[in-house]
Amino acid sequence: MKYFVLSPVLMLAAAAGCGTDSASGDGRVQVFVEPEDSVTNGLTPGTGVENLRDGWTAQYTKFLVTIGNFRAARSTSSERLTEPRVYVVDLRNVPAGGLVAAEFPSAAAGRWDRFGFDMPNASASATRAQGTSQEDYDRMVRGRYSIYIEATLTHPAGRSCRPTMPTDCAPRTSLTVRWGLSAGTSFDDCAPEAGAAGFAVISGGTVQIKPTIHGDHWFFTNITQGAEVTERRAQWIVDADLDRDGETTFDELRRVRASDVFPSPTYNLSGALVPVNTAYDYLDAQAHTLGDFQGDGECPTRRDLM
């Protein structure tokens, strides 16, 4: 139960301005873009928290994102770090040592409690990241995509059932998706899974910041708020293949009412940045949530960049 007490944010605000950061000197900050394991290794069926609960296997063959405009700030001062450059990145082909997307060689030592970045819709001003093909870059810019994926879902005993008539089912053991979304979003107030928000710079040291792009949110059964307390399911995507040709398209997703594929309370569709009325809306809503931090940390302040 929630009680009538002050939130940590207010308490932090109360403390801000009452003291100073005593650290001195500068350190280096490197911003790496990294994919979550689900992007590179896919999702497997099972009962574990990271598994798809309904027996499907998901494997991405392409996962492109637009990402950049990295920024950091300190609540205790006016200091800012900004790198406005935006990249188009093939997350399945980032360099082995990681993709360094920004570097700040002289950041004041101490805590930088406010870190954020954008996943905007691609434009011609974006930079093609190392490991990203010209064809994929052009695809992102031409479509003004923030995300583009190609994936295959497989299930040896899979079925596709009509959303409006769940008893009308047909065998479907493999299904593909090719989705480009203009779901530009800013992500701020990033915090690791445990510990204080942002990151700490040590004088003379180097800190590595890792905005992490997750690949499983459209399988979630809710719009997560902070910790990913959810299940992962893929059946709704298979059921939305209305013409049963083995590929679920945006046109089909837009024709499927959200309530016909997301039963309550197994699913909870509240808390999205966009109203959720169709299956496409839910995909779009989850595409606005993929930006995370230091693995499973969250960037809870999200804004639609249109």
Partner 1 sequence: MKTTTRAILLSMLGLGCGSTGPSEVRYPIVAEGAASAPFAAGDWTVTLDVARVSLGPIYFCATAAASSSLCPAAVQEFADVAEFDALRPSAQPLGFVTGAPGSIRSSSYDLGITWFTTQRTATPAAASAGRSAHFEGRATRGSRTLRFVCDVRAIPMLQGAQVVQGARVSADITGSNVRLVVRADAASWWTAVDLSEVESEGGDPVVIPPSSRIHNAVVVAMTAGAPLRFEWVSQ
Site string for partner 1, 272-301 (x = CB under 8 A): xx-xxx--------------------x-xx
Is the peptide bond between 265 and the residue preceding it cis, with omega within 30 degrees of 0?
A: yes
Give the Å distances, CA to CA, from 8 to 5, 11, 297: 9, 5, 17
What's the min distance (Å) between Cβ of 80 and partner 1? 21
Q: Does 22 bind partner 1 (CB under 8 A)?
A: no
Query: Shortest CA distance to 176 belongs to which of 39, 57, 51?
Result: 57
Chain residues 178-207 in contact with partner 1, contact rule CB under 8 A: 189
Place of tokens 């959303």: 163
Return the C-alpha torsion angle 15, 21, 26, 29, nearest 10: -20
Nearer to partner 1, 7 or 125 (CB): 7
Q: Does 151 bind partner 1 (CB under 8 A)?
A: no
Q: Does 133 bind partner 1 (CB under 8 A)?
A: no
Q: Does 169 bind partner 1 (CB under 8 A)?
A: no
Question: Using CA atoms, how far apart are residues 129 and 118, in angstroms rounded to an integer?
Answer: 15
Question: Using CA atoms, how far apart are residues 198 and 177, in angstroms rounded to an integer?
Answer: 35
Nearer to partner 1, 168 or 245 (CB): 168
C-alpha of 130 from chain center: 21
Options 89-97, 104-112, 241-249, 251-259: segment touching partner 1 (CB under 8 A): 251-259
Nearer to partner 1, 117 or 148 (CB): 117
* Member of 185, 224, 235, 248 binding partner 1 (CB under 8 A): 224
Q: Does 167 bind partner 1 (CB under 8 A)?
A: no
* Member of 87, 267, 280, 293 binding partner 1 (CB under 8 A): 267
Q: Is 226 left (phi over 0), alpha (psi -120 to 50) or beta?
A: left
Q: Does 49 bind partner 1 (CB under 8 A)?
A: no
What's the min distance (Å) between Cβ of 196 and partner 1? 13
Q: Does 161 bind partner 1 (CB under 8 A)?
A: no
Question: Using CA atoms, how far apart are residues 42 and 35, in angstroms rounded to an integer?
Answer: 11
Paired sense of beta strands 301-304 and 165-171, if any? unpaired
Chain residues 51-80 in contact with partner 1, contact rule CB under 8 A: none
The partner residues of 232 in beta bridges, in order of sequence, read 52, 220
Residue 139: phi and psi, rounded to 5, are: -60, -45
Nearer to partner 1, 87 or 115 (CB): 115
Q: Are 284 and 304 in contact (CB under 8 A)?
A: no
Nearer to partner 1, 57 or 186 (CB): 186
Options 3-11, 90-98, 105-113, 122-130: segment touching partner 1 (CB under 8 A): 3-11
Binding residues vs partner 1 (CB under 8 A): 1-11, 13-15, 17-18, 164, 189, 221-227, 229, 257-260, 262-273, 275-277, 298, 300-302
